[in-house]
């Protein structure tokens, strides 16, 4: 079945440093979603990317969808302690909005 791989699994940064997580698939994706899960919390939707080469920004967060629609990335500029959590990419599979989640990248930010 469809799988999405995320790297790295875990990243430590100092506050103010940048952070990037990558999501890769062996098959072409119709679209991809990103979610954030705070420690002890539930996943919260961040964004959906649909078009090849699409770039979207939300304040310090930049999301990209690869030209071949097989990979995606999330970049956070100048991390803050509020960015702590696990970031998941999720690919849509099939015709009923089924999501296949990656394993996530856990971000720790040290003040």
Partner 1 sequence: EAGVAQSPRYKIIEKRQSVAFWCNPISGHATLYWYQQILGQGPKLLIQFQNNGVVDDSQLPKDRFSAERLKGVDSTLKIQPAKLEDSAVYLCASSPINRQGAYEQYFGPGTRLTVT
* CB-nearer residue toward partner 1: 33 or 79: 33
* CB-nearer residue toward partner 1: 1 or 111: 1
Quick one: which segment of 14-22, 56-64, 65-73, 102-110 binds partner 1 (CB under 8 A)?
102-110
Does 3 help bind partner 1 (rule: CB under 8 A)?
Answer: no
Does 102 help bind partner 1 (rule: CB under 8 A)?
Answer: yes
Q: Answer whether 82's CB lies under 8 Å from 67's CB.
A: no
Give the largest Cα separation in the chain, rounded.
44
Cα torsion through 98, 35, 74, 64, rounded to 10: 40
Does 92 help bind partner 1 (rule: CB under 8 A)?
Answer: yes
* CB-nearer residue toward partner 1: 44 or 78: 44
Does 42 help bind partner 1 (rule: CB under 8 A)?
Answer: yes
| Closest CA relative to residue 81, chosen from 59, 111, 43, 60 | 111
Residues with Cβ within 8 Å of 101's Cβ and at least 6 positions away in sequence, in order, are 4, 35, 88, 89, 90
List residues near partner 1 by CB under 8 A. 33, 41-45, 48, 50, 88, 90, 92, 94, 96-104
């Amino acid at each position: 079945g469809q799988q999405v791989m995320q790297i790295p699994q875990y990243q430590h940064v100092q506050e103010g440093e940048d952070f990037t997580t990558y999501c890769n698939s062996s098959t072409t994706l119709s679209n991809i979603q990103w979610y954030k899960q705070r420690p002890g919390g539930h996943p919260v939707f961040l964004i959906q990317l649909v078009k090849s080469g699409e770039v979207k920004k939300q304040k310090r967060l930049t999301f990209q969808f690869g030209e071949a629609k097989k990979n995606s990335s999330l970049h956070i500029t100048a991390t803050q302690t509020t960015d702590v959590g696990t970031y998941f990419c999720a690919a849509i599979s099939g015709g009923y909005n089924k999501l296949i989640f990656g394993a996530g990248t856990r971000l720790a930010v040290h003040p």
